């Protein structure tokens, strides 16, 4: 049935976020050489190594802010039956205070700057006018689910979601591309190339939204990244080229092209996608979360090993079925 297919893909998308996040957590912010030296090749959930710059002490399968903020967005969408920028801002501030994120490196630079501004009394429409890092993208999956592959609706929802912390054309364009890929998958598009072209096609229109900010071209870099994986037959070599040429840092102009290219490289396989991201180097947890979201939406929950889903659920106390049901109800009006 159509309803069961969509529910499986919603759950796959959310589990993909958590799987990519947790798989990339221990290797996050490391070079490929350091990852190989410490871990060899990551293909399972591991604890953070002692002294990790951000994730010291985290257990195998534990998620970070990527998943936490994704579920925060889902909570807001479910509660408000849509995207409410004020509600999102307040939830982000409450979340940050609860986990003492403002005293650590757990919040990205754009979000941290904007949330401090909002706490000090600045309007949400002013706070995020310089946000250009990948925080806008890592948590966008529920917005993509809500947009359900409609281009204009997706751009509108993403632009509203970006207002508090990433109200720039760069952030909105990058987040719109990922949201569009997720929405197209839920809508029924299973061809990875067609899905990626839909994502790329939204970038230029979305660049007309938000505060104008400087950046390398997301569109040109995405095309270059896709060309790299198309022309490079060896997967390890393709990953190295993506890291060296496109980049795996926190800038949206690096993150979005790399995640789209990884999706193409693994042909939408979420397990291979999150493993590739964990070994890539750079912002491994965020790139894993985004790639996992897209691939999970394409293949659905059945593509994930059952023990992965169980570990992610129990370690982080996440009820993926509850979120799946509520988001499905939000987009369809049906149980």
Domain range for 320: 2-332
Look at 79-93, 118-132, 310-324 and tell me which has the smallest mean pLDDT: 118-132
281 CB-side CA count, 13 A: 19
* Section 237-251 average pLDDT: 97
- What is the CB neighbour count within 10 angstroms for residue 109? 14
293 vs 164: CA distance, rounded Å: 23
* Section 182-188 average pLDDT: 97
Q: In this predicted structure, what is the pLDDT of residue 61?
A: 98
pLDDT band, residue 104 (cuts 50/70/90)? low
How confident is the model over 282-299, as pLDDT tens digits?
Answer: 999 999 999 999 999 999
pTM (predicted TM-score): 0.97
Is the separation of the CB atoms in 278 and 32 below 8 Å? no
Q: C-alpha angle 56/103/213, rounded to 5°?
A: 100
- CATH code of residue 79: 1.10.4080.10
C-alpha separations of 57 from 49, 144, 216 in Å: 8, 32, 36
Given a cut of 80, whether residue 105 has pLDDT beyond it is: no
Q: Angle of helix 2-24 relative to helix 65-80, nearest 10 degrees?
A: 150
Query: What's the domain count of the chain?
Result: 1
Given a cut of 80, whether residue 106 has pLDDT beyond it is: no
């Amino acid at each position: 049935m159509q309803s069961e297919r969509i529910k499986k893909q919603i759950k796959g998308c959310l589990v993909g976020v958590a799987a990519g996040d947790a798989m990339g957590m221990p290797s996050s912010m490391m070079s490929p050489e350091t990852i190989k030296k410490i871990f060899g090749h990551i293909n399972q959930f591991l604890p953070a190594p002692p002294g990790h710059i951000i994730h010291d002490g985290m257990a195998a399968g534990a998620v970070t802010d990527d998943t936490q903020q994704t579920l925060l967005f889902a909570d807001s969408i479910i509660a408000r039956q849509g995207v409410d920028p004020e509600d999102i801002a307040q939830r982000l501030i409450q979340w940050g205070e609860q986990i003492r994120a403002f005293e650590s490196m757990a919040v990205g630079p754009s979000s941290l700057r904007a949330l401090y501004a909002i706490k000090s009394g600045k309007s949400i429409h002013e706070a995020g006018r310089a946000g250009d890092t990948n925080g806008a993208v890592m948590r966008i999956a529920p917005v993509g689910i809500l947009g359900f592959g409609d281009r204009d609706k997706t751009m509108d929802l993403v632009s509203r979601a970006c207002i508090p912390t990433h109200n720039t054309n760069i952030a909105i364009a990058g987040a719109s591309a990922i949201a569009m890929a997720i929405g197209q998958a839920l809508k029924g598009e299973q061809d990875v190339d067609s899905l990626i072209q839909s994502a790329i096609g939204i970038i230029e229109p979305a660049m007309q939204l938000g505060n104008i900010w400087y950046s390398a071209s997301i569109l040109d870099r995405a095309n270059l990244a896709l060309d790299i994986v198309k022309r490079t037959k060896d997967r390890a070599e393709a990953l190295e080229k993506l890291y060296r040429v496109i980049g795996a840092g926190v800038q949206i102009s690096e993150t979005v092209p790399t995640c789209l290219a990884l999706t193409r490289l693994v042909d939408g396989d979420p397990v291979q996608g999150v493993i590739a991201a964990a070994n890539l180097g750079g912002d491994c947890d965020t790139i894993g979360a985004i790639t996992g979201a897209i691939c999970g939406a394409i293949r659905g929950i059945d593509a994930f090993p059952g023990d992965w889903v169980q570990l992610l659920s129990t370690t982080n106390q996440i009820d993926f079925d509850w979120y799946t049901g509520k988001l499905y109800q939000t987009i369809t009006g049906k149980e």
